Amino acid sequence: MKYRQPISFLLILISFSFFLYRESSNEPINTIAVIDSANCWTGASPHQIPVDSSGSLIRYGYLLISNTAAFLGPNGTVSHSTNGMNCQNCHLEAGTKPWGNNYGAVASTYPKVRARSGKLESIEMRVNDCLQRSLNGKPIDSLSKEMLSIVAYIKWLGSEIPKGEKPKGTGIIDLPYLTRAADTIQGRKDYIISCASCHGIDGKGKTALNGIGFLYPPLWGNQSYNDAAGIFRLSRFAGFIKNNMPNPSNYHHTKLSNESAWDIAAYVNSQPRPHKDQSQDWPDISKKPVDCPIGPYTDKRSEKQHKYGPYTLTIK
């Protein structure tokens, strides 16, 4: 009886000092993302999504990104507003794969002014960009449950990255430019060897066996991304496939030379695809990237040279 009080006092003191230690330590208490052996950001996996009320929105966002067609595709349960592709077809492993066009730096860098629109863009606006271009579809309401969930998932993935930072491994790699124009004839040969077995000699891919989305997504034709999509720029396409295709490959084990990546990009992006009016894009044309395939430009290079290169050769 006599010792009870001092003992409980001691216990309180110990727990308080532990609390102070946790508060002062710089170790993140709940780390979700991983930095791999080459220092590249790798996103958290879906089974780390919290099992509380905040988690249900994030989890629905994950489902929308990994299985977009089931909700928004031609036979979607929510709407019929996209071409049947999934976000994950291009933002690999639900936007978590290093150099797999992941979402690592979205929460830390948005809102930001983008030269393509000339506007301050929120994450919602950027998502609607991909819906209208990469999925050749319609935008969704920024207050809809679907948009709130997609944004919640993207923010959760990037929640540990300090504002303004873009860690190594996020997005798509910038490959060095070739000193020649990318060659569609060589690209077709390489495509037949490395890509046609899945994406088809006709580029149409293969529909999934359950009819929802694709087993192998299309690379051109009616169901593919339109000519206003980011991946229609050769540098984005070449950088994406260099580290990720033929499937499965990753930046530790690439299967394409840089030259082949550019040539295949040229061949695929020379094939027919849906057109989107983009006359309002790049209001300040001096900010247009050099590989933007549709004019006008501030220099005298032709659309063809902007599309296929060489980018290093300047014609005034």
Binding residue (CB under 6 A) for ligand HEC from 40, 107, 127, 157: 127
By CB under 6 A, the count of residues binding ligand HEC is 47
| DSSP class per residue in 62-131 | HHHHHSHHHHHSTT-SS---S-S--GGGTSHHHHTSTTSS-STTHHHH-SEEETTTTEEE-HHHHHHHHH
Buried residues in 115-150 as b, exposed as e (16+ CB within 10 A): ebeeeebebbbbbbbbbbbbbbbeebeeeeebbbbb
Hey, which residues between 61 and 120 contact ligand HEC (CB under 6 A)?
Answer: 65, 68, 85-92, 101, 103, 105-106
Task: Please identify, among the stretches 5-13, 218-226, 274-282, 285-293, the one whose residues bind ligand HEC according to the rule CB under 6 A.
Answer: 218-226
Closer to ligand HEC at the Cβ: 212 or 256?
A: 256
292 binds ligand HEC (CB under 6 A): no
231 binds ligand HEC (CB under 6 A): yes
238 binds ligand HEC (CB under 6 A): no
To ligand HEC, the closest distance from the beta carbon of 303 in angstroms equals: 20
To ligand HEC, the closest distance from the beta carbon of 228 in angstroms equals: 11
218 binds ligand HEC (CB under 6 A): yes
Task: Please identify, among the stretches 27-35, 51-59, 240-248, 286-294, the one whose residues bind ligand HEC according to the rule CB under 6 A.
Answer: 240-248
To ligand HEC, the closest distance from the beta carbon of 211 in angstroms equals: 16
To ligand HEC, the closest distance from the beta carbon of 302 in angstroms equals: 24
Binding residue (CB under 6 A) for ligand HEC from 197, 298, 302, 312: 197
Residue 180 burial (CB count, 10 A):
14
Which residues contact residue 119 at a Cβ distance below 8 angstroms, ignoring those fewer than 6 apart? 113, 125
Cβ atoms of residues 275 and 222 within 8 Å: no
207: its two tokens? 């529909």
Residue 113 burial (CB count, 10 A):
9
Q: Tell me the residue ranges of DSSP E strands in the chain.
A: 34-35, 41-42, 112-114, 119-121, 206-207, 214-216
130 binds ligand HEC (CB under 6 A): yes
**Strand pairing category for 206-207 and 119-121:** unpaired
Task: Please identify, among the stretches 191-199, 275-283, 291-299, 304-312, the one whose residues bind ligand HEC according to the rule CB under 6 A.
Answer: 191-199
Ramachandran sector of residue 143 (left: φ over 0; alpha: ψ -120 to 50; beta: rest): alpha
Task: Please identify, among the stretches 5-13, 20-28, 175-183, 192-200, the one whose residues bind ligand HEC according to the rule CB under 6 A.
Answer: 192-200
C-alpha of 252 from chain center: 19
Binding residue (CB under 6 A) for ligand HEC from 44, 58, 147, 195: 195
Closer to ligand HEC at the Cβ: 228 or 256?
A: 256
To ligand HEC, the closest distance from the beta carbon of 310 in angstroms equals: 21
Closer to ligand HEC at the Cβ: 8 or 226?
A: 226
Distance, CA of 86 to CA of 202 (rounded, Å)? 20
Binding residue (CB under 6 A) for ligand HEC from 44, 131, 161, 212: 131
Q: What angle do CA 260, 239, 123 make, to 5 degrees?
A: 155
Positions that interact with ligand HEC (CB under 6 A): 65, 68, 85-92, 101, 103, 105-106, 123, 126-127, 130-131, 134-135, 150, 154, 171-172, 194-195, 197-199, 216-219, 225, 229-231, 236, 240-241, 245-247, 256, 264, 268
